[in-house]
Amino acid sequence: LGNKITAALSNVTRANVIDDKVVDDMLKEICNALVASDVSVGLVVKLRKNIKMAVNIQEMAAGLNQRKIIQKAVFDELCNLLDPGKKAYQPKKGKPNVIMFVGLQGAGKTTTVSKMANYYKRKGFNPCVVCADTYRAGAFDQLRQNATKIKVPFYGSYTEADAVKISQEGVELFKKEGKDLIIVDTSGRHKQEAGLFLEMQQIAEAVKPDNIIFVMDGSIGQAAFDQASAFKKQVAVGSVIITKLDGHAKGGGALSAVAATESPIVFLGTGEHMDDLDSFDAQSFVQKLLGMGNMKELMSTFSSVMDAEKAPELAARLAKGKFSLRDMYEQLTNLMKMGPLNKVLEMMPGMGQLSAMMKGTGHDSSAKLKSMLTIMDSMTADELDSDKPLKEQSRVIRVAKGSGKSVREVEELLEQHKAFSKMIGKIGKTNIGPGNRNQAQ
């Protein structure tokens, strides 16, 4: 998604005259990128109309920074799509907040119930969990194990088949015990079935939840809108959690889930562990959406100029999230072979500002790259190959002296390497080998 939008935006930069056609072409490309990223067509049409209204051609012709205006309009509209115009339910201390989880089987409900209990426990709540999944064998054990791990009381039964009865009993018991956050985990099915929905409604009626949270697997693609709508039609969904955003999910489903349920996203699931739960922030979500795209575009550019012999080896290392200073050295050398450098630099985390700065001073960015290579030339082989780049001040000073650069410049380079490896860790699971260039979106 990100790289296509970035590409569309850079076409605007390249165009000498900004007119309706340039803006229309750009919007078309952005819309295609959004649809390809699993955003529903209806939403995309809306987004296109809004951006078109936000972008004032006259104003742009007057010489304001055109790219910035359009970029901001795209950013704002994506944020807008993630804002249903109502606030999420916030559990309040001093009363029993009953939260019910719904969603398809495998969406991540049971995992997320436990993550959320853990989250609120840390905030000083007294959470507890109720297993109302009597459908799937092992469901109670799974919740019980998670609850034990995070030391949170649980309620459930191996023998009782009536999910409505269990949830009612559990909630009543925990209310009596004075628990202030009672989370009810329900069962799922492989698809939206009448039986599941009926049970869901009956449980909702029995426990009268303060909030119903719809949990959706972030990687289900275009199915997101319909699935979310189906649940919204059956129960009063109040908030949304998108899971598995640590994998190959393209993120567009999140926009659809908000639109379909008219409910805010509260958390994102980013892994299988109890701590892999992020509070949702629309702006940083959109930033990430765009930023990751840039990185992937950069990686595919890398792989297109990469030494063919070394490519598979590097790809394997990157897939493990490993990116040494020597890897950076080699990639920067490759960068020197490509142009225009400023565009490439803009794609790199932490380098965008650098590139903008250099444009301002009229400096050639390749001078900066050469300076970085000079610094790395003064490092030892061990320092270049280490997974933990050098930290000790004495080494930093030695490298600065040896390369004739300032300590600040060496530290900047190490910062850049850190930002780079962090991004690589995150996208490590994505295909970046030379044979997979088309998947880098």
Q: Identify the CA nearest to 100 among candidates 174, 184, 16, 13.
A: 184
Given candidates 118, 243, 294, 403, which one binds ligand GDP under the rule CB under 6 A?
243
Given candidates 37, 40, 111, 256, which one binds ligand GDP under the rule CB under 6 A?
111
Taking the C-alpha atoms of residue 417 and residue 359, their distance in angstroms, rounded to an integer, is: 22
Site string (47-86) toward ligand GDP, x via CB under 6 A: ----------------------------------------
Q: Identify the CA nearest to 1 among candidates 249, 238, 241, 236.
A: 249
* Contact status: 238 vs ligand GDP (CB under 6 A): no
* Contact status: 205 vs ligand GDP (CB under 6 A): no
* Contact status: 118 vs ligand GDP (CB under 6 A): no
* Contact status: 188 vs ligand GDP (CB under 6 A): yes
Within residues 271-330, the interface with ligand GDP by CB under 6 A covers 271-272, 276
Taking the C-alpha atoms of residue 64 and residue 143, their distance in angstroms, rounded to an integer, is: 56
Min separation Cβ 111 and ligand GDP, Å: 3
Residue 250 interacting partner from Mg ion, ligand GDP, none (CB closer than 5 to 8 Å by kind)? none
Min separation Cβ 226 and ligand GDP, Å: 18
Strand order from edge to edge, sheet including 181-186: 154-155, 127-132, 181-186, 97-102, 211-217, 239-243, 265-269, 277-279
Q: Can you give the binding site for Mg ion, defined by CB under 5 A?
A: 109-110
Token pair listed for 131:
């297993």
Which residues touch 216 (CB under 8 Å, ≥6 apart)? 103, 104, 107, 224, 227, 228, 240, 241, 242, 243, 253, 257
Q: Which residues is 241 bridged to in the sheet?
A: 215, 267
Q: Identify the CA nearest to 358 among candidates 349, 346, 348, 347.
A: 346
Residue 246 interacting partner from Mg ion, ligand GDP, none (CB closer than 5 to 8 Å by kind)? ligand GDP
Min separation Cβ 418 and ligand GDP, Å: 25
| Residue with Cβ nearer ligand GDP (106 or 352) | 106
* Contact status: 421 vs ligand GDP (CB under 6 A): no
Q: 169: helix, coil or strand?
A: helix
| Residue with Cβ nearer Mg ion (109 or 368) | 109
Residue, CB closest to ligand GDP: 269
Residue 417 interacting partner from Mg ion, ligand GDP, none (CB closer than 5 to 8 Å by kind)? none
Token pair listed for 394:
């004495």
Backbone angles phi, psi at 278, to 5 degrees: -110, 135
Backbone angles phi, psi at 95, to 5 degrees: -150, 155
Min separation Cβ 188 and ligand GDP, Å: 5
Task: Point out which residues bind ligand GDP (CB under 6 A).
Answer: 103, 105-111, 188, 243-244, 246-247, 269-272, 276
